[in-house]
Every structure is written in C-alpha cells, then in structure tokens.
Structure 1
C-alpha cells in the first residue's frame, strides 16, 4: 500500500512524491549542465553554454568562468579538469538530493509500513482490538472528532470488549492513517 484511501491525504502524498521526483530531476539536470560547463572551459561554442535549469544565463556564465579559472589553475592536461568536473557535478547532485532523501524518504517508508501493519491488524479480531487500544491513547479532542461517544464510554467499551466500540475505535485509528474513507 503506497497511498492512503482518503482523497485529500492521497493527493498530498502524490504531490509530495511528484515534487520529490521533480527535485531529483532538476538537480540531476543542474549537475549534468555544471559538468559540461566545468569540463569544457575555454570553448565558447553556443552549444557549450547551456543554461542551468531555473538559474538562467548569469549563473551559466558564472559557472563557465569559474570552470575556466579552475582549468587555468589546474596542471596541464584535461584529466584533472575532468576529475574536478565530475567531483563538482557529483557534489551538486548528492547534497540537495541527499538532504531531500534524508528528510522525505524515512517518513514515506514509515507511513507505508504503518499502513501495511494496520491493514493486517484490521483483518483479525485481535488486531482490531489492538487498533482500538491505539486509538484510545490518542488525545481526547482527536477522539471526540471521530466518535459520538465520550472518552469514558469508549474506555469502558474497550475494557468490556464491546464489538461496536472496538469497531469504532479501530476505525478511528484507520482514519488517522488515511486508510478509511469514512
């Protein structure tokens, strides 16, 4: 299960995943362009002065000039310049994409695992009871939004294993994860 059943939450997840892919693609393009600009200093053919995505001609000129200065300072030959171009392009890609993956990917994986576990628990009676218990430990105002019964009644129904209360509480937990449309 990769996406929630609730339309709003599913839309946010899809938009977030799309934004992450776009971010990766943009930095990949920027890294390739930077590699070309740094790796080809001294050549001023129009096709060599490609613009960096979203940054425009000023940044392109700056990177090209920086590549030229680095090439002039480097030992003779193209091997050091090419190595520098690869290193710079790799850093330009790895740093922003690494930060994104460090922040976004663990949350996405955690939600996927929680959703799979909750689905598995919801399939059994004991599992639904455990989901109901999880719902009971949520803040009282959150429980009040999802159920008509008061918190005392919910706790009492859970202790007495009232099937209706257990089902309502389990549904609260499933809704919290975005796995129930109701």
Structure 2
C-alpha cells in the first residue's frame, strides 16, 4: 500500500511524491547543464604560451604537440572537474531530500500495512483501540462522540462497539478506510 484511502491524506502524499520526483528531475537537469557548461568552457579555453604564441617553431613546437596528444589521450582535468561538479550538484540536494522524505514515506507504508493487518483480527482491533486511547483527547474527540471516560471504560470492558470505534480512530489517523477487512 503506497497511498492512504482518505482523499485528503492521499492528495498530500501524491503531491509530496510528485514534488520529490520534480526536485530530483530539476537537480538532474542542473547537474547535466553544469557538466556541459564546464566541459564547453574547458574546450574553448586553449592554453597559450605568453610571448611565443603561434610563432613557436622547432623543438618547442614539437614538445607542445606531443603534450597536446598526451592530454587528448587521457582524462582531462577539466573533464574530471565537470563530472565531479555535476555529481556533487546532484547528490547533495537529492541526498538531503531522500534523507528527510524517504524515511517518512517508508514508515507510513509500514504502519499502514501493519494497521490493515491488525484491523483484520479481533485482537488486532483491540490493539489498535489501545493505541488510539493514548492519542491526545482533542484528537479522540474529533473522531468519536463518546467522552474519554466512556472510551476507556468501554476498552477495559472489551465493549465491541467501543473497540471498533477506537480502532477506527487509529485507522483514520493513518488515512485508511475504517471498513473491516
């Protein structure tokens, strides 16, 4: 299960996932652009020897051509710099996003799967009801019209109506439908 059943929570999850994909795509584009820019700048900037310039002759000219052949045959420092800059430009912001966003999405997915599994059994619904009881009272009041004392008493007496109501509170909190599986 990747998304909540309840429309509000599902919409927030879809928007968040879409924003994450857009963020990754934008930084990938920026990294490719930076790589191309650095590579283009390095190719257009040929080193010149001051004062001699194009008037080099003889041995000095041959040495310069041999150096050019060596530089063209191996990885150029500018090419390595371009790759390093592009990787850093992509990895830092995308890594930060993944470090903040991905654990939350994975945690919700695991919690939702566990809650659905628990909701399928009587003992599981009782555990979900207990979990709902430890939520703040104002949150409980939003989802059920019974008072907190009645909810605690109903849970202690294993009242099926109260247990189902409390289990439904916990499922709603996760954005899941409250229908029994």
Whether TM-score is above 0.5 comes out as yes
TM-score normalized with structure 2 length? 0.81
Q: For the residues of structure 2 that align with 1:104 and 1:166, how far apart are their CA atoms? A: 33
Aligned to 1:2: 2
Q: For the residues of structure 1 that align with 2:128 and 2:102, how far apart are their CA atoms? A: 25
Larger Rg, first or second structure (1 or 2): 2
1:13-162 superposed matches below 5 A: 13-41=13-41, 77=71, 79-162=76-159
Residue ranges of structure 1 left out of the alignment (5+ in a row)? 45-67
1:131-172 CA distances to partner (integer Å, 9 max, x unpaired)? 000000000111011111100000000000000000000000
Query: Judging changes above 3 Å, is the alpha-carbon distance between structure 1 residues 43 and 181 closer, same or farther for their aligned structure 2 residues?
Result: farther
Residue ranges of structure 2 left out of the alignment (5+ in a row)? 48-66
Q: For the residues of structure 2 that align with 1:4 and 1:156, how far apart are their CA atoms? A: 30
Task: State the structure with bigger RCO (CA 8 A, min sep 6), 1 or 2.
Answer: 2
**How many residue pairs were aligned?**
155
Q: For the residues of structure 2 that align with 1:131 and 1:38, how far apart are their CA atoms? A: 57
Q: For the residues of structure 2 that align with 1:15 and 1:143, how far apart are their CA atoms? A: 27
| Structure 1 residue ranges, 4+ long, deviating more than 6 angstroms after superposition | none
1:27-51 CA distances to partner (integer Å, 9 max, x unpaired)? 001001100111121556xxxxxxx
Contact map agreement 1:132 1:169 (CA 8 A) in 2? yes
Q: For the residues of structure 1 that align with 2:95 and 2:42, how far apart are their CA atoms? A: 32
Q: For the residues of structure 1 that align with 2:77 and 2:26, how far apart are their CA atoms? A: 26
**Cα RMSD over matched residues?**
1.9
Contact map agreement 1:6 1:178 (CA 8 A) in 2? yes
SS of the counterpart of 2:41?
coil
Aligned to 1:65: none
